[in-house]
Chain A
Amino acid sequence: MSDKDLGFVRRYIFSTDHKIIGIQYMLTGFLMAAVGGLIAMLIRLNIAWPGKQWAFLEAIFPQGMAGGIMSPEFYIALVTMHGTIMVFFFISYVLVSGFGNYLVPLQIGARDMAFPFLNMLSFWIAAASALVMLLSFFAPGGAAAAGWTAYPPLSAIASAVPGSGMGQTLWLLAMALFIVSFTMGGLNIIATVFSGRAPGMTMRRMPLTVWSYLVASVIGVLAFPPLTAAAIMLLFDRHFGTSFFLPEGLVVAGELLNHQGGTPLLWQHLFWFLGHPEVYVLILPALGIVFDVIPAFTRKPVFGYRITVYCYLAVAALSMIVWGHHMFVSGMSPYSGEYFSVMTMVITIPSAIIGVNMLGSLWGGAIRLKTPMLFALGLIAFFGTGGFGGIFLGNATADVQLHDTYFVVGHFHFMIGGVTLLATFASVYFWFPKMFGRMMNDKLGKLHFWLTLVSFYCIFLTQHFIGLAGTPRRYYAFTDYEFLEGIRGPQMLVSVAAFVMGASQLIFMANFCWSLWKGKKAPINPWHATTLEWTLPSPPPHGNWGAELPTVERWAYEYSAAEAQDDFTSQVVPASQIPATF
């Protein structure tokens, strides 16, 4: 069916077209990112000048900033919401659901996702979930304030912290909705990859982007449902008197509570059983995308395609059995601690091989430093840096000092924040011409890249060092402790760098909006890339392909083939014309 037969609402709002849904996810995610980013600015403002009066902020947050001064309960609510929004409602939406939806059918030569209606449903549940999460701010007592990890009893008992009233209930409902939507999305991607590939698109000819979405979706579908269960159990503990996570003898705010038999550690196991694989659900697509961006700007195939796929599979399997490295000092058995240490260190092996394959993909290439490539190169550096931090934290002995300090904050911002953020930007700059038919401005893109990269290093590497000094995370102020006196200077550096990074995202927003209307018209294949989406008009029509599906003749990395005139050979060029590598 042609999209001309559909009205505006079916075309752009309740659309079943994977491309529209992908863009809907992307825009929703960017909106949430703006909220999460502004929250980060408030957090850093308070850390730089704790308890200082900002009269203008009282107008926006009459409760949390009464008298213009941030209250400690508002501060921890901001910390909680920043983490939740960025991990689940920005990166997951834009990178996994957004680009996953947009790219997977195009790159495998399908007309749409396997279940287009389910796809629409998952987006609208996701949108509802984001809305419920934001409503948390307007609940009596304010937004959820037990951290993005929502450890009970703090998150279970309304009198434990103001945010554990209605705010926490909305947080849990939003998370349950999010997981329902994300699981539907994951199943859809798996089904699409297995059933929707065009003739000739064998598994080993799939671009690494598709591989990464496939593997990430499998991990997601396996790991996410336990948290839905946990969220519902916690809702029951909060409202219906059950005791899944609450032991006997709790005395909160001077009152003895009538619970017995539960344990707070159960939540931690269930949360991290999701939480750790979630990291890889976000990271793998980021890595996959970079493996597809790099060859377009080196004009040569990737290095180690098959080994990279094996490493994805290894990382996926291992990611399911290392969750306990978040719990070394939780009271879990110290013997489990050593098991989780040893298994976690095994993950460094496939991860390092993926890293060396990225570097190897640069070797001998004709490197061209366009904006998407710069973000890809930055990502390689971030992936290494984040990985090295992980070696500290996965080691139980070192983690005793580092657990719940700024070292952890710095580390996961490099990985789940930085790697994914740079991949998101690389994707936007790279596929913007396909999505909207126009180019983004390259000079502004480069300025955006350098400001983001340098400020990111200043913020998050410094946080590693502050963490070594023992600085606990989620502290409203660092004024009460003598041992933290030395870190106030570095904290100021971090805050200033954070403001620079926040401001430099305005360049991106301006570039994005300006290019939508005024950008240079994009040709079909501006980067001279080989994958299937670059054979389609920009933007591709509903149903993607004309009367006939494309026939795939070769792998996705046929750059600079000796027999070819151009330095790239599309996947659809017959092998009889130009021999296929495989």
Chain B
Amino acid sequence: MEETHIETQPQNRLEATLVGLLFVFLAVGMVYLGSRGWLPRLASRHGAGIDNMLIYLLVSTGTLFLAGHFVLGYFIWRFGGQAKPSHRLSSKKVERNWSLVLGLIMTLVAEGGVLAIGMPVWGEYFAAAPPADALTIEVTSEQFAWNVRYPGVDGQFGSISPALIDVSNPIGLDPDDSIGNDDITTVNQIYVPVDEPVRIRLRSKDVIHSFFLPELRVKQDAVPGMTIDIWFVPTESGQFELACTELCGLGHYRMKGFFNVMTAAEFDTWLAEQSS
């Protein structure tokens, strides 16, 4: 017989033990690394719901991750020294039952998470209109800045036109429209009062950008040709960073803005200063 049996010699038991242990150590190490608090601090009302969703998923999938690696390591250790298989074919029933068990686990973990924890948050903040008294702020993104506009005392935005855009008029405000005369504009600086609903009206002049406030758990693409409203309630005062999370060109990594959350009194003072 020309064939050698070299490639199918029985497994060295020690090696199998080490390989099994390595898989387990890798998993334990990674869970240890992951259990550090990685999320940025929380500063919005709906963000608590998002964090609940994330923590539920971290705990449930972290458990499955550990369990899976333990099972893998255990099988390698336990069966790594056998010269012959101790089990050959499972019955159809056993195969079917394991499928049902896994189907049930995934339904609970994955689908259950979406339906029980995720969907209520989504429905309340993303699929619902903002409260009528929400402060409306228009944010028009461009390479690589955030143009911010408040409606002013009349509560209405003046009309704009892309044809009017130039260096001194970055969003194309129409000077002939009297409604726009009291509009307040800033660049890269957004000011809002704490604990009040804020509606951000997102637009984009050139390419797709994404409005990301990590601490407030807010992220929404700004798409040219579309006006997209989002709303949320900041719950902490302070200055938060605004980052772009959709690749928008060579300055993507430094398209930074600031989201300043202040007390109602401070905000009113700021607004009055801008209006005068």
Contacts and interface: CB of A to CB of B under 8 A. Distances in A.
Interface of A: 71-73, 76, 145-147, 151, 153-154, 157, 160-162, 246-254, 256, 262-265, 298-301, 303-304, 306-307, 329-331, 334-335, 337-338, 341-342, 345-346, 348-349, 351-353, 355-357, 359-360, 362-370, 374, 377, 380-381, 384-385, 388-389, 391-392, 394-398, 400-401, 403-405, 439, 450, 453-454, 457, 461-462, 464-466, 468-470, 472-478, 480-483, 523-528, 559-560, 562, 567, 581
B264 interface: no
A348 B27 CA distance: 21
With most chain B CB atoms within 10 A of its CB, the pick from A394, A398, A476 is A398
B208 A154 contact: yes
Closest 9 CB pairs of A and B: A247-B225, A364-B87, A470-B214, A397-B118, A249-B162, A388-B61, A475-B253, A468-B38, A334-B127
Interface string B138-178: 00001100000000000000000111011100001000000
A393 to B, nearest CB: 10
B107 A338 contact: no
B105 to A, nearest CB: 7
A348 B110 contact: yes
Interface in B210-245: 210, 212, 214-215, 217-221, 223-226, 228, 241, 243-245
Given A397-B119, A461-B33, A472 B245 contact: yes
A363 B143 contact: no
Contacts of A528: 5, 7-8
Nearest to A560: B85
17 contacts: A154-B207, A254-B166, A304-B90, A342-B115, A345-B106, A360-B98, A362-B79, A364-B85, A384-B69, A395-B53, A396-B118, A397-B121, A401-B39, A403-B210, A404-B245, A527-B7, A560-B85
Contact of A400 (B106, B123, B142, B219): B219
A311 to B, nearest CB: 8
A355 B79 CA distance: 18
B266 interface: no
Given A153-B207, A301-B89, 16 more contacts: A249-B224, A250-B162, A251-B165, A303-B95, A329-B219, A329-B220, A355-B102, A356-B102, A362-B75, A369-B16, A395-B118, A400-B217, A401-B219, A453-B26, A457-B30, A481-B243
Nearest to B18: A369
B85 A559 contact: yes
Nearest to B170: A251
A378 B165 CA distance: 56
Interface in B105-136: 105-107, 109-111, 113-115, 117-119, 121-123, 126-127
Contacts of A363: 75, 79, 87
Most chain B CB atoms below 10 A, which of A351, A465, A473: A465
A326 to B, nearest CB: 12
B125 to A, nearest CB: 9
B206 A338 contact: no
Interface residues of B, number: 114
A203 B65 CA distance: 34
A369 B84 contact: no
B162 A256 contact: yes
B265 interface: no
Contacts of B68: 355, 359, 381, 384
Contacts of A247: 224-226
Interface of B: 2-11, 15-16, 19, 22-23, 26-27, 30, 33-34, 36, 38-40, 49-50, 53-54, 57, 61, 64-65, 68-69, 71-72, 75-76, 79-80, 82-90, 95-96, 98-99, 101-103, 105-107, 109-111, 113-115, 117-119, 121-123, 126-127, 142-143, 161-163, 165-167, 172, 205-208, 210, 212, 214-215, 217-221, 223-226, 228, 241, 243-254, 256
Contacts of B80: 367, 369
B90 A392 contact: no
Contacts of A160: 143, 206-207, 249
Contacts of B220: 329, 331
Contacts of B212: 404, 470, 472
Contact of A161 (B117, B126, B166, B249): B249
Nearest to B160: A249
Nearest to B244: A472
Given A329-B210, A366-B83, A395 B57 contact: yes
B163 A256 contact: yes
B36 to A, nearest CB: 7
A170 B166 CA distance: 33
Contacts of B7: 370, 439, 526-528
Contacts of A306: 95
B53 A397 contact: yes
